[in-house]
A and B are shown apart, each in its own frame.
Chain A
Amino acid sequence: MTTLRTWLNDEAPASAWQARCGSYYRGLDRALRSPMTLFGIAAVLLMILVAIVAPWLAGIDPNVQDFTCRLSPPSSAHWLGTDQLGRDLWSRLIYGTRPTLLIVLLVAWLSAPMGLVVGICAGYFGGWINTVFMRVTDIFMALPRLVLALMFVAVMGPGIINAVIAITVTAWPPYARLARTETLAIRNSDFLHAARVAGIPTWRILVGQVLPLCLPSTVIRVTLDMAGVILTAAGLGFLGLGAQPPLAEWGAMVSTGRLYIFDQWWVAAVPGAAILFGSLAFNLLGDGLRDVLDPKHA
């Protein structure tokens, strides 16, 4: 352990690899000292864990209706009370992590590759490809996110998959810009020239050499954006355009709780607090990651 730390903190690193490991290590060390980042990491891990073990944590099926105790306040039988159909709110809260994380994951999986492909191609090939791709990116960047998503879902029909597509349509442009900047910075470096001279096919250069260098900054940006994605998805759910009943989704749960807000306020308060928790977690994690991987902003 001691030797590893000495190797990482070496004043005169013998290789670029060692230098980079060392700088990540010191960044991680710095980030872990910040209680906010620690909270972010812990909260995201907690959400993932809860989503996996939901059936054991919840105890009660989230969709079982019990009209004898509808809208009951928190009690020992129902820790957070019940909604208008007598469904257990604690159980629905626990299961609600699943659609939220599913949307976040899908949006990340769809929009990051899309942005990377556009950005790397624009940066690497330059010329008219750059002009066209970046114009298109700028246009998408200037469009209102929530309203376009709303319109898309309104026209194509509500549901989680359509919500994901709608959010993705407006989520990819920042990644394209980022990837283009990173690619431009290394485009004329010697190792790429060497690769070209060695006759490595272009697509392999792009995937094997350029892509890995664009990944760290993209990962940070994606993490930071996930907080916004959670909010947009919850907003769509609140308007009845995201996840459809009876699926337990936090935004939709706030929307049903809205009818009882003045008398049984916990029905809306509980899932809303969960949305806040989720989005806060990703914001803190993103901030922390940025400190680690991008020392310029530290």
Chain B
Amino acid sequence: MKRWMFARSLARGATRALLTFALTVVGLLLITFLIQKASPIDPVLRVVGDHASPEAYHAVYVEMGMDRPLYVQFGRYLGKVSRGDLGVSTSTGRPVVEDLAQYFPATVELATVAIVLGVLFGVPLGMWAAQRHNGKVDQYVRVLSLVGYSVPIFWMGLMGLLLFYAKLKLVAGPGRIDDIWKYTLQSSTNFMLIDTLRDRNWEAMRNALSHLILPALLLAYMSMAYIARMTRAFVLEELGKEYVLFARVKGATETRLLWLHVLPNIAAPLVTVISLSYATLLEGAVLTESVFSWPGIGLYVTNALFTADVTAVLGGTLLIGFCFVALNAVSDQFGYWLDPRVR
């Protein structure tokens, strides 16, 4: 294919993907908007209080635009969100966007470390299992991943804390970093590993790592289970093809065959799988963070839940949902770019 044709097809694909992405985000906003509308909590009452006169109630009712048709209200909602205005949290008294900016890095840090570990272990394990199809290794990997996606993460977190923190004293307990370090760090990206690195504060970094390692390993196990299983399935499908036979006939070693011949061919679906499990990690944060008192977006949302802070819950949901949708779209695009066959 000529280069300009390739560029054109890429551009066309990107436009399509962008449109789909925009549509999905609007869908997400519509669903959250409708759930909010169906809520038994009256937003006007929240503003005016229980004892407001009917006139005051009505004034606020009109001011909030509640008398307008639903689609007008939705349009206003869209406009507000697109300007980055997610409202003010009733529990922290700050704009939700500011809160999210403070809490989100903790979640991203945890999920990123977990997905890196998950890929590093998951892909080779899946390949190994496929190579020994129906052998001992295959069985072990199968059981390992079965347990991985059957286990309730919050329970595994509790058991991990019990064993490695309380009994064996190998890792630090809940939280991101000990309080001594919390207020002494100079940098403020809210990514603990980056902050401590920029401060050259090695002791604080060690402390942050010992807090991070347990939740990160547990999440890594969950994503490893999924990645290993999918890798195995992809590789098995490829191993039956003729180019594999040809490479074997020409005397390629098994390692070379797997990493140089098979891997490029399964790269596109693998990227999708990895980004999907990254998205799941961001979402699963709600449960893990609650167990480990990890001050991320999951903890923020669950805390907001119990103070009936609907604006904060909505903001958190939208952010996680947005990342979810964006990751899906990006991985589609990436797969398209990696694999000439789907162009």
Cross-chain contact B325 with A143 (CB below 8 angstroms): yes
Cross-chain contact A254 with B314 (CB below 8 angstroms): no
Set A148, A150, A231, A235: member contacting B31, Cβ < 8 A? A148
Complex alpha-carbon distance, A197 and B146, angstroms = 49
Which chain A residue has the least Cβ–Cβ distance from B37?
A: A155
Which chain B residue has the least Cβ–Cβ distance from A263?
A: B166
Complex alpha-carbon distance, A21 and B10, angstroms = 48
Q: Indicate with 1 or 0, residue by residue over B18-31, a CB within 8 angstroms of chain A CB atoms.
A: 00100110011001
Set A150, A227, A234: member contacting B305, Cβ < 8 A? A150
B312 CB to closest chain A CB, in angstroms?
10
> Residues of A contacting B20 with CB < 8 Å?
138
| Interface-lining segment among B47-55, B64-72, B80-88, B149-157 | B149-157
> Residues of A contacting B325 with CB < 8 Å?
142-143
B159 within 8 A of A: yes
Interface SS majority for chain B: helix
B328 within 8 A of A: yes
Cross-chain contact B321 with A150 (CB below 8 angstroms): no
B61 CB to closest chain A CB, in angstroms?
20
Set A36, A139, A239: member contacting B23, Cβ < 8 A? A139
Cross-chain contact A238 with B287 (CB below 8 angstroms): yes
Give residues of chain A (255-298) contacting chain B, Cβ–Cβ below 8 Å.
257-258, 261-262, 265, 268-269, 272-273, 275-276, 279-280, 283-284
B214 CB to closest chain A CB, in angstroms?
14
B170 within 8 A of A: no
Complex alpha-carbon distance, A280 and B152, angstroms = 10
Set B151, B162, B310: member contacting A154, Cβ < 8 A? B310
A105 within 8 A of B: no
> Residues of A contacting B151 with CB < 8 Å?
276, 279
A216 within 8 A of B: no
A81 CB to closest chain B CB, in angstroms?
15
Complex alpha-carbon distance, A154 and B313, angstroms = 8
> Residues of A contacting B150 with CB < 8 Å?
227, 231, 276, 279-280, 283
Which chain A residue has the least Cβ–Cβ distance from B36?
A: A155
Which chain B residue has the least Cβ–Cβ distance from A234?
A: B152
A113 within 8 A of B: no
A149 CB to closest chain B CB, in angstroms?
10
A156 within 8 A of B: yes
Q: Indicate with 1 or 0, residue by residue over B300-325, a CB within 8 angstroms of chain A CB atoms.
A: 01100110001001101100110011
Which chain A residue has the least Cβ–Cβ distance from B317?
A: A151
Give residues of chain A (138-160) contacting chain B, Cβ–Cβ below 8 Å.
138-140, 142-148, 150-152, 154-157
Set B39, B152, B162, B320: member contacting A144, Cβ < 8 A? B320
Give residues of chain B (273-310) contacting chain A, Cβ–Cβ below 8 Å.
279, 283-284, 286-287, 290-291, 301-302, 305-306, 310
> Residues of B contacting A154 with CB < 8 Å?
305, 310, 313
> Residues of A contacting B162 with CB < 8 Å?
261-262, 265
> Residues of A contacting B310 with CB < 8 Å?
154-155
> Residues of B contacting A145 with CB < 8 Å?
283
A222 within 8 A of B: no
A135 within 8 A of B: yes
A-B contact pairs, 15 of them (CB 8 A): A135-B23, A143-B324, A143-B325, A144-B320, A144-B324, A152-B35, A155-B35, A155-B41, A156-B39, A227-B150, A241-B305, A251-B152, A265-B162, A268-B159, A272-B152
Point out residues on B near A: beta carbons under 8 Å. 20, 23-24, 27-28, 31-32, 35-36, 38-41, 146-147, 149-156, 158-159, 161-162, 166, 279, 283-284, 286-287, 290-291, 301-302, 305-306, 310, 313-314, 316-317, 320-321, 324-325, 328
A-B interface, 10 closest residue pairs, ranked by CB to CB distance from nearest: A272-B155, A139-B27, A280-B150, A279-B150, A155-B39, A144-B324, A151-B317, A144-B283, A275-B152, A262-B166
